[in-house]
Structure 1
Amino acid sequence: MSIELRSLRQFIAVAEELHFGRAATRLHMTQPPLTMAIRKLEAELGATLFERSSRSVQLTPAGAALLQPAQRLLAEAQALAPLVQAAAQGQRGRVRLGFVSTVGYGDLPRWLRAFREQHPDIELSLREATLDVQLREFASGDLDAGFIIHAPGALPAGFEALTVAREPLVLAMSAEEALAGRARLSAKEVLALALVIFPREIAPSLFDAVLAFYRDHGATPRIVQEAIQMQTIVNLVSADIGVAWVPEGLMELQRSGVVYKRVRDAAPVCETSLIWRPDAAPAVQRFVAHAKAQLKQHRQVSKVSRGAR
């Protein structure tokens, strides 16, 4: 047995009006077909829904039991079209977002807060993950978009991308290091220092860019330790294990015993980009549009600020 929504709508009208004539008017139909429809529904259910007399119509216990579930089902059915339309327009859905740790020191927290305020019906799920992990999760369908760090122009194939930041790498070093008191360093002064760096597999293009910087200056880096998270790398620097190349934005991470130094002679540059698949769902495209708008606003504010100076 299957009950059509039309039958439930007719039953609800009669149950709420307790009058076949008024219910028929409400449904934009005549009374005889409505009476026949209710009798057919009663036959399908095997129960009498209304007690009828010449003066009144009343719900039977069976009819009373059906009323609330029928109203709920009809309300849910009526909500389906707006729900589907909202999903198709990117107003509703889910965005599973990966991000590298360095992004947290920039504009990402503000962007996420604004997105959640503007799109409360989109579930935003966050996962901190390096590039290699993000690519695996894209391949398995467990990730929709991700913020990654890379050398300029070195983006993974098969993705759309939005570059959100471009910045030089600076040198993090222990405050106890002999060069720590210098305002700015040259490449020649730092090439021989012991180096703490991330493993190549988590950011191949950036790792290669750092090594190319050494090679271009006729040196080979003396790598003494690897670590995945930038915060861990900075902590190792504070222990005077070595120096580390980190994005300029990470200078916001103030760690006792660590100083950050800009290096002359074309220090390596890194980019932060948002990547997503070309066939991403509308909710993901909505997040991308939000990121573009936030980036445009940030650039306008920066331009005004520079003009004021």
Structure 2
Amino acid sequence: MDLRPLRHFLALAESLHFGRAAEQLGMTQPPLSQSIKALEAQLGAPLFDRTRRSVALTAFGAQWLPHVAQAVAAVDALPETADSIRQGRAGRLELSFVSTADYSILPTLVARFRQLYPQVELSLTEATSDRQIAAMVEGRGQVGIIIPPQEASLPERFAYRCLASEPLVAAVPESWLAEGRLTPVAGQVTAAQVVASPLIVFPRHVAPLFYDLVTGYYAAHGGAAQIVQNAIQMQTIISLVSAGMGIALVPASLRNLARAGVCYLTLAGDAPQLETGVVWRRQDDTPTLRNFLAMLDDIT
């Protein structure tokens, strides 16, 4: 439908006077009258009741008016919308994240991005690092918060940036402490106590770096990990610890996940450091992604 007759209709509906409407539109009255008649013929119903002394909207015209006003306003806003999309102030950003980020860097990133770009639709998906990378290889998603794999196993067309590094702590069943099965030393759990305890951990294919970091801690202190259960969600791991199945070595930010039956203890000595970072496709030049990556300079 031609936009000009719609603007003619809006002007006449506002003034209810052909002369004033024509003057507002910068045209003469006869072409305006012809335009309205042609529009009514196209719609198959009259928009105005006309007499020599007055012009009034018909019931049909009055009901159609807000739809036309909304449509014309949307068209008028298209140049500004295009500019917003081009500048990354509008549009969409698809962000995936590992479950550990939910208790560390993710809330800060999301809050800051929403504050800076409230008109951007932010799509959040929780997924393990391997699934995020596989999805991005297939062209799905734009940026992911991951526990990085070994550098050689990250596709070359991907870029990676470290966001944070934090020590591991031991999540232990409170029942073990109450029963004396595990006795902290100066509020810390020793390497010998960790090595002697059954372990709950991510499967290696889900987060190789995390898995190797944990099992490497056991090996460095003269033991082998006694893995009693694998789980791919951090919440599940903590639930299994609460049930007394074993202990878990988790990022220190997991202390923010308060769970009945679980106590977080610092590892004595030098604790392993777990890295978390963002990954994206190098060729992706989406404005919303550019703005997200630029935002990281102010946070990390």
TM over 0.5, shorter chain: yes
Which 5+ residue runs of structure 1 have no aligned equivalent?
296-309
Q: Aligned pair count?
A: 292
Alignment-derived partner of residue 75 in structure 2: 77
Alignment-derived partner of residue 226 in structure 1: 230
Alignment-derived partner of residue 286 in structure 1: 291
Which 5+ residue runs of structure 2 have no aligned equivalent?
none
Q: What is the letter of the counterpart of residue 145 of structure 1?
A: V
**Cα shift at 1:140:** 5.5
| Percent identity over paired residues | 42
Q: Distance in 1 between matches of 2:294 and 2:222?
A: 44
- Give the secondary-structure state (helix, strand or coil) at the position aligned to 1:202: coil
- TM-score where L is the length of structure 2: 0.76
Alignment-derived partner of residue 15 in structure 2: 17
1:131 equivalent to 2:129? Answer yes
CA 1:206–1:4 in structure 2 vs 1: closer, same or farther (change >3 Å)?
Answer: same
Alignment-derived partner of residue 260 in structure 1: 265
Alignment-derived partner of residue 101 in structure 1: 99
- Give the secondary-structure state (helix, strand or coil) at the position aligned to 1:11: helix
1:277 corresponds, among 255, 276, 281, to 281
Question: Quick check: 246-255 or 194-203, which moved more?
Answer: 246-255
**Cα shift at 1:25:** 1.7
Alignment-derived partner of residue 168 in structure 1: 167
Query: Equivalences for 1:44-193 in 2 at 5 Å?
Result: 44-45=42-43, 49-50=47-48, 55-59=53-57, 63-64=61-62, 66-139=64-137, 143-150=141-148, 156-157=154-155, 158-173=157-172, 174-175=176-177, 176-178=180-182, 180-182=184-186, 187=191, 190-193=194-197
Q: What is the letter of the counterpart of residue 294 of structure 1?
A: I
Q: What is the letter of the counterpart of residue 209 of structure 2?
A: S
CA 1:150–1:251 in structure 2 vs 1: closer, same or farther (change >3 Å)?
Answer: farther
2:215 corresponds, among 211, 215, 219, to 211
Q: Deviations over 1:214-250 (max 9, x none)?
A: 4556643332332223343344445554443222222
Q: Deviations over 1:143-168 (max 9, x none)?
A: 34332224686883343334221122
Q: What is the letter of the counterpart of residue 277 of structure 1?
A: R
Contact in 2 for aligned 1:131/1:149 (Cα 8 Å): yes
**Cα shift at 1:26:** 0.8
**Cα shift at 1:201:** 1.7
Alignment-derived partner of residue 307 in structure 1: none
CA 1:51–1:169 in structure 2 vs 1: closer, same or farther (change >3 Å)?
Answer: closer
CA 1:196–1:47 in structure 2 vs 1: closer, same or farther (change >3 Å)?
Answer: closer
Q: What is the letter of the counterpart of residue 168 of structure 2?
A: L
Q: Deviations over 1:225-279 (max 9, x none)?
A: 3222334334444555444322222244455453413243x54321111333341
Q: Distance in 1 between matches of 2:60 and 2:266?
A: 80
CA 1:243–1:154 in structure 2 vs 1: closer, same or farther (change >3 Å)?
Answer: farther
Q: Distance in 2 between matches of 1:105 and 1:228?
A: 16
> Over aligned residue pairs, what C-alpha RMSD do you find?
3.6
Q: What is the letter of the counterpart of residue 262 of structure 1?
A: L
Alignment-derived partner of residue 6 in structure 2: 8
Q: Distance in 2 between matches of 1:60 and 1:243?
A: 75
- Give the secondary-structure state (helix, strand or coil) at the position aligned to 2:205: helix
Question: Quick check: 57-66 or 12-21, which moved more?
Answer: 57-66
CA 1:44–1:148 in structure 2 vs 1: closer, same or farther (change >3 Å)?
Answer: same
1:248 corresponds, among 231, 252, 274, to 252
